Structure 1
Amino acid sequence: MLQQLTVLFKDHLSTDPTVYCTDKYTVYQLADGLRFGVENTILTTREADLLDLLAERVVTSSSDQVTSWRHRLERNQAEEPSPFRMIHFLFEQLDERTSEDLQQLLYSFFHSSSLIIPLTANRLVVIEREETVPEEDLHDFFTALQSDFLIDGKVLIGQQRKSGDIATQFRLEQAALREIPLLHIERFLPALTRLVLLSAEIRHELTQRFITPLEYESRETIHAFCRANLNVSLTAKHLFLHRNSLQYRLDRLTEQTEIDIRSFEGATFLYTLLLVA
C-alpha cells in the first residue's frame, strides 16, 4: 500500500520521522505499524478522508509529558519502577470534536494521577498510576460511552504490575486489543490467551517470558493444579505434598509470573502456555 501512496503523493510523502515530525505533515500508521507523513498543503479533504479509511491517523500533542510518554511506550523496552496499569481504548472512526469530548470525559472519570495518552485518532491508552478504577465502574463507563456518543469500540483492561517493562507490556496488550471483538471490554489474561492461539510470534514471546524461566517443579505444579480443576487438596494428593507445601508453591508461582494461578483466568493462561511451550 505504501508504494501506491508514494506514487500518488510523490515527494510530499515521507517515512522519515525527522521529516514528518513537524506541524507541516499529517502522520498516519498502517496496520503493520509503519508510519508516514503527508504534507498538509497538498492533502485535500477527500484524500484525508480516504487515508482515514486506509490507515490510523497519529495524534500529535502539544504536551511535552504526553509526547514523552508516547515515545517511551513505543521503545523496544522501557523499565517502569512504579506500579502501573494500562486501559486501552479503540473506537470506530471518530471526528476531531468527538475525540476531544471523549478525552475530557476520560480525564474526569479516571483518577488525577492517571495519564491519558492519545495514540491515533481512534485509539488511546490510559496509564493508571497511584489509584485504579474498579472493573465494574469501567464496564459501566464503557457502556455509557457507546450510548452517549453512539459509537462502537472495545476496551482492554491491562495487567496491574508493581513495576516492569512498560513498553513490552504496552506492545503485547495493544496486540491483544486488536483481536478483541467489537463492543467488548476484556481483561488482560483472556485477551492474551486468545492471542497465544492466534499468533506464533506472540506465543513464543510469552512462553519465553512466563514458562521458560520456571523450574521443573513449578511447571509440574501448574499442570497438576489445572488437571485437578484448581482443587488444592486434590493437587496436593496427586503431587504427594502437604497442603501447606502446595500453598507455598502456588504463592511462589504468583510471585515469579505476576499471574494469580488460583484464578480461573490465570490458570488457563499459564496452562495454555505450558501446553504450547
Structure 2
Amino acid sequence: MFNRLLKLYPNAISTNKPSTDPDYIWIKNENNYIGIPKSALSEKESSLLHVLFPFESDTEIEPTLSNSAKEWRNFLKYEGPFPTTHSDHIRFIHFSINNIRDEFHFVEWEEAVKSVFSDEIIIVPFSNSHGVIIEEQSNVSITEDELFSAIQAFESDFFFKIHFFIGQFQETNDSLKSLFPLEQSMLELSQSEHPEERIFTREKLMPLYLYRMIPNKEKNILFADVHTLLKDDIDLAETIKAYIENQSNATLTAKQLFMHRNSLQYRIDKFIEKTGIDIKTFHGAFFAYLACLHIDEK
C-alpha cells in the first residue's frame, strides 16, 4: 500500500520522523512516515487519506494558526488574497531555528517572541524551524539591539540557535509577495556564509549578495590584479575587510583584531600602496570589499 502511494505521488517523501511542515500530510507506516505534499492532493484524495490513516501532521504537530496568520501564509505561499491589515506599512522579520530538540514546543517559543514586541505581531510558521514575523510600523517598533538581546534569552531558554533577517518597512500592497522570497533568499545566504551571526539586514548583506550575482568568469577578471597582489598575504586582505565592515573605524578594528592602532594604519597604507585602491573613499572601499570576498572564496 505505502509503496503504491510513493509511486502514485512522486513528490512524496519517506522518513522515520515526520516534520512539522504544514505543506505536507503525514501518514504512519509502522515505524516510518510518508509525507505527501498537500498541493498534490485533490479534496477527495485528502478526505480519503483522512479516513484510511489516523496520523496526520495537520492535526497533531502543526502549530495552531490564527486567522491572520492563515491569511498571510496563503498570500505569501499560495495564491490567496491580500491579508487584512491595520497599517499602511509592515515589515517581515524572517527567522530560522537550528539544533531544535525533540521536546521543543513551538507554542511556548511563539509566546516568548510576542512578549518581546511592544505591539501585537503576527507569527506565520512554515514549519517548527522557520517562518516569518509580520510587524506593523509604529513609534515603538523593535530595534536590532533589542532583538539581539532577545536572541540571547531565547537561545538560553530553549537551547537552540536562531537567525533573523530584519526587512525594511514597506507599503502594504501586492508587491510584498515578490519581496518575501527575495528576503528569504538573503536569510539563507547569511546562514550559509556567516552562520555565527544572528541578525542580518539588507544593508549588511547587500555587498555579499551583489558579489554572488557576478558570474564567476567576470569575478576572475575584475579582481585578478588584487588577487595576484594579495594571494600570499591573506592576513592583509582580512584586515582590510574588517576595517571596511567597521565603517573605517580604525580604533574599533584594531580592538577587534587585537592589534595596535599604528600597526593597523601601516596595513591600510600598505594595501593602498600595493593595489592602488584608495579605501578611504566610498567607491574604493566598496570595490576593495568585493575583492576581499573574492580572495576569501579562492
If the length of structure 2 is used for normalisation, what is the TM-score?
0.49
Describe the shift of the 1:146–1:78 C-alpha distance in structure 2 as closer, same or farther (beyond 3 A): same
Deviation string 1:77-135 (CA, Å, 9 cap, x unpaired) is 98787201111110114346432221110111123332111111200211110332011
Counterpart for residue 186 of structure 1? 200
Structure 1 partner of 2:71 = 68
Which residue number in structure 2 is paired with residue 82 of structure 1? 88
- Supply the AA of the counterpart residue of 1:191: L
Q: Is the 8 A contact 1:73 1:167 kept in 2?
A: yes
Tell me by how many angstroms 1:137 deviates.
0.3
From 159, 165, 173, the equivalent of 2:183 is: 173
Contact 1:146 1:152 in 2 (8 A): yes
**Distance in 1 of aligned mates of 2:71 and 2:33:** 30
Per-residue CA shift, 1:116-163, capped at 9, x if unaligned? 111112002111103320111011111221222221221111112244
Give 1 or 2 for the bigger CA radius of gyration.
2
* Equivalent-residue separation in structure 1 for 2:64 and 2:213 (angstroms): 33
Query: Which residue of structure 2 aligns with residue 197 of structure 1?
Result: 211
Paired residue for 1:127, among 111, 121, 134? Answer: 134
| Unaligned residue ranges in structure 2 (runs of 5+) | 13-17, 35-56, 216-246, 248-281, 291-298
Instruction: Report the equivalent of 2:155.
Output: 146
What SS does structure 1 have at the residue aligned with 2:124? strand
Q: In the alignment, what sits opposite 1:155?
A: 164
Answer whether contact 1:26 1:40 (CA < 8 A) is retained: no
Decide which of 6, 10, 13 is 1:10's aligned counterpart: 6
Q: 1: CA distance between counterparts of 2:204 and 2:6?
A: 44
Which residue number corresponds to residue 40 of structure 1?
A: 27
Q: In structure 2, give the amino acid aligned to 1:176.
A: M
Residues 40 and 200 (structure 1), Cα distance of their counterparts in 2 relative to 1, 3 Å cut: farther
Q: Are residues 98 and 12 of structure 1, via their aligned partners in 2, closer, same or farther at CA, if it must alter by over 3 Å?
A: farther
Q: 1:28 to 1:11 in 2, by over 3 A?
A: farther
Distance in 2 between residues matched to 1:64 and 1:98, nearest whole Å: 21
CA distance in 1, matches of 2:8, 2:184: 30
Relative to structure 1, is the Cα distance of residues 92 and 60 closer, same or farther in structure 2, using a 3 angstrom cutoff?
Answer: same
Report the CA distance between 1:198 and its aligned residue.
2.1
Q: Which amino acid aligns with 2:188?
A: R
Q: CA RMSD in A?
A: 4.2
Change over 3 Å in CA distance of 1:96–1:87 after alignment to 2: farther
Alpha carbons of 1:120 and 1:175: their partners in 2 closer, same or farther (altered >3 Å)? same
Give the partner amino acid of 1:40.
Answer: I
Residue 179 of structure 1: how far off its partner (Å)? 1.2
Quote the residue 2:294 is aligned against.
Answer: none
Amino acid of the residue matched to residue 207 of structure 2?
T
Q: In 2, are the aligned partners of 1:78 and 1:167 still within 8 Å (CA)? A: no
Distance in 2 (CA, whole Å) between partners of 1:139 and 1:113 is 19
Gaps of 5+ in 1: 1-5, 17-24, 30-34, 49-56, 202-228, 230-263, 273-277
- Go from structure 1 to structure 2 and tell me whether the alpha carbon gap of 1:186 and 1:138 turns closer, same or farther (over 3 Å shift): same
Give the residue type in structure 1 aligned to 2:76: L
Cα deviation, residue 8, structure 1: 8.5
How many residues in Structure 1 have an aligned counterpart in Structure 2?
182
Measured against aligned partners, the alpha-carbon deviations of 1:221-246 in whole angstroms (never above 9, x if no partner) come to xxxxxxxx9xxxxxxxxxxxxxxxxx
